[in-house]
Amino acid sequence: MVVAGAGIFACSFVLLALLKDMVGRGRAFARSVIFFPVIIPGIVLSIVWGFMFQADGLVNEVLHTIGVTDPPAWLAAENRFGVILLGIVWFGAGFYATILLAGADQIPPYLYEDCALAGANMWQRFRYVTLPLSWDIISVCAVLWTINALKTFEFILAIAGSSSGLPDPGTWTIALYTYASVLNPAGVPSYGLGAASSLVMLALIGVLVVLIRRIMRRESIELS
């Protein structure tokens, strides 16, 4: 939730700053490209991502072309969680960047015109105009990400699991823990433990959502 969330929002803010001022057909095309992973089922994305990081996958082929002869075993137990986090950042950044771009499109253009007259660069326009006026949208995105992070399931199961077993417990989310408690193919189902973990997840989501909304509460900005 924390590490992947930081990566997702960092990438989303960069995309927001870069695409906000884009005009013409390239604007719609760029937004379609970054949103494309969202319309693909998560299980398909996880399979593609796993193939890319196999020993003979695309990532190692690229590394070989630039002179890296002994790349790490990406899908080994010690590296698997990092690969999963990168994948979650990859297909999550486009979704939240699209929401932020939609919110930023509602900012009055004359504010950016004033910035241009004052000689503000792209970073200053983002820092003093786009970010403050998009704060409510960012707060909503933070809540959505918190919920999605705690219920992440199929991406981890497809990459780290196998046809005969569950992923290593080091990669589990609460959703995977609940699944393992009830539907573990190698053990006796524990419906009570699964129900308890589901209630814990529900309570944790409720607490975190309230906490995030309080932390990110700001005075509303009125434009005259």
Per-residue pLDDT tens for 41-54?
Answer: 888 888 888 889 88
Backbone dihedral angles phi then psi of residue 165, each to the nearest 5 degrees: -160, 170
Segment 205-221 mean pLDDT: 85
Please report the DSSP string for 84-132 in residue order.
HHHHHHHHHHHHHHHHHHHHHTTS-HHHHHHHHHTT--HHHHIIIIIHH
pLDDT at residue 222 tops 60? no
Backbone dihedral angles phi then psi of residue 162, each to the nearest 5 degrees: -145, 175
User: Which pLDDT does position 151 carry in this prediction?
Assistant: 87
Tokens 């593609």 sit at which residue?
48
User: Which pLDDT does position 206 carry in this prediction?
Assistant: 93
pLDDT at residue 112 tops 60? yes
Least confident of 39-43, 130-134, 164-168, 187-191: 164-168
pLDDT at residue 223 tops 80? no
What is the amino acid identity at position 6? A
What is the amino acid identity at position 164? S
Segment 11-17 mean pLDDT: 90
Q: What's the pTM value of the predicted model, to 2 decimals?
A: 0.84
Segment 188-199 mean pLDDT: 88
Q: What CA–CA distance (Å, rounded) separates 43 from 37?
A: 11
The confidence band for 220, taking pLDDT boundaries of 50, 70 and 90, is low
Options 3.40.1380.10, 2.120.10.30, 3.30.310.50, 1.10.3720.10; CATH for 2-215 is 1.10.3720.10
Segment 138-142 mean pLDDT: 93
The confidence band for 147, taking pLDDT boundaries of 50, 70 and 90, is very high
